[in-house]
Structure 1
Amino acid sequence: MEGNKLFHDRYFLERLLGRGNFSEVWLAKDTKTDIQVALKIYAPATGLDDAGLNVFAREFSLVVNANHKNLLKPLYYDSCDRKPYLVLPYCKQGSIMKQVGKFTEQEAWKLIRDVASGLAWLHGMNPPVIHQDIKPDNIMIGEKGDFMITDFGVSSHLKSTLRKSLSSAFSSAGTIAYMAPERFGKDNTPIMANDIYSLGATAFEMLAGDTPFGDDGGLVQKKGAEVPELQGDFSVQLKKVIAKCLRTNPWERPTAEQLEIYASAGMRGETIRFIDEKTFFQKHKIVIILAVVLGFASFVVGGVMLNNHRENERELRRVMAEKQYNDSLSFCIQRYLVTADSLKKIGDQHYENYEIAYLAAFENYKRAQDCTFKFIGDSVSVDEKKWEGMKSVENELYAAYKTFNEKANFFAEEKEIADDFKMRADKISTVIDIESVGKVLSDTVKTEN
Structure 2
Amino acid sequence: MSSVSRPAVKLGDDVLQDWKQIGRGGFGAVYCARQKDWCFDVAIKMLHTHNSDQLWKEAQAMTRACSPFVLRVFGVYRGIPPGSSRHECEGIVTEYMKRGTLESLLERLAGPPPWPLAFRLAQQLALGMNFLHTLSPPLLHRDLKPSNVLLDDHLDAKLADFGLSRVTNSHLNSSGTTTEDQAGTLVFTPPEAFDLSYKPVRAYDIYSYGIVIWSVFTGKKPYSGAMTSLVHLRVPLGDRPPTDEVDHSKADGLSDLKKLMVRCWDRDPDKRPSFGDCLEVTDGVDPRDEAAIRRAVDQVLSKLDSEMVPSCDIAHCHSTMKEDLHKKGPVDGVKLTKPLSIEEKAKFVDNHRANLIQKVSMVMAITERLGEMVHPETYSKIQANITDQDKLRVLYSTTLHSGGLRVKAAFYDALETHEPDLLADWASRLG
TM-score by length of 2: 0.52
CA RMSD across the alignment: 3.3
- Secondary structure of 2:46's counterpart equals strand
Q: Is residue 197 of structure 1 aligned with residue 197 of structure 2?
A: no
Unaligned runs of 5+ in 1: 1-5, 161-167, 270-449
Q: CA deviation at 1:119?
A: 0.9
Q: Which of 5, 12, 17 is residue 17 of structure 2 equivalent to?
A: 12
Q: Which of 86, 93, 98 is residue 92 of structure 1 equivalent to?
A: 98
Q: What letter is aligned with 1:200?
A: G
Which residue of the partner structure matches residue 82 of structure 2?
A: none
Q: Which of 125, 133, 145 is residue 135 of structure 2 equivalent to?
A: 125
CA distance in 1, matches of 2:265, 2:273: 10
Which residue of the partner structure matches residue 275 of structure 2?
A: 256
How many pairs align? 251
- Secondary structure of 2:21's counterpart equals strand
Q: CA deviation at 1:94?
A: 1.3
Which residue of the partner structure matches residue 112 of structure 2?
A: 102
CA distance in 2, matches of 1:248, 1:106: 30
Q: Which of 180, 195, 199 is residue 190 of structure 2 equivalent to?
A: 180
Q: What letter is aligned with 1:73?
A: R
Q: CA deviation at 1:42?
A: 1.6
The percent identity for this pair of structures is: 26
1:208-247 correspondence runs (5 A):
208-214=218-224, 216=228, 220-225=234-239, 227-234=241-248, 235-247=254-266
CA distance in 2, matches of 1:194, 1:55: 21
CA distance in 1, matches of 2:23, 2:100: 10
Q: What letter is aligned with 2:50?
A: G
The change in CA–CA distance for 1:230 and 1:13 in structure 2 (over 3 A counts) is: farther
List 4+ stretches of structure 1 deviating above 6 A. none
CA distance in 2, matches of 1:58, 1:232: 38
Q: CA deviation at 1:206?
A: 2.3
The change in CA–CA distance for 1:124 and 1:60 in structure 2 (over 3 A counts) is: same
TM-score by length of 1: 0.50
CA distance in 2, matches of 1:218, 1:260: 30
Q: Is residue 29 of structure 1 aligned with residue 34 of structure 2?
A: yes
Q: CA deviation at 1:132?
A: 0.6
Unaligned runs of 5+ in 2: 1-10, 80-86, 173-178, 249-253, 289-431
1:386-401 correspondence runs (5 A):
none
The change in CA–CA distance for 1:151 and 1:30 in structure 2 (over 3 A counts) is: same
Q: CA deviation at 1:188?
A: 2.0
Q: CA deviation at 1:82?
A: 5.7
Q: What letter is aligned with 2:212?
A: T
Q: CA deviation at 1:199?
A: 1.4
CA distance in 2, matches of 1:94, 1:75: 19
CA distance in 1, matches of 2:20, 2:165: 27
Q: Quick check: which one's helix share is greater?
A: 1
8 Å contact kept, 2:133–2:202: yes
Which residue of the partner structure matches residue 68 of structure 1?
A: 67
The change in CA–CA distance for 1:82 and 1:47 in structure 2 (over 3 A counts) is: farther
8 Å contact kept, 1:208–1:230: no
Q: CA deviation at 1:20?
A: 0.7
- Secondary structure of 2:68's counterpart equals coil
The change in CA–CA distance for 1:17 and 1:79 in structure 2 (over 3 A counts) is: same
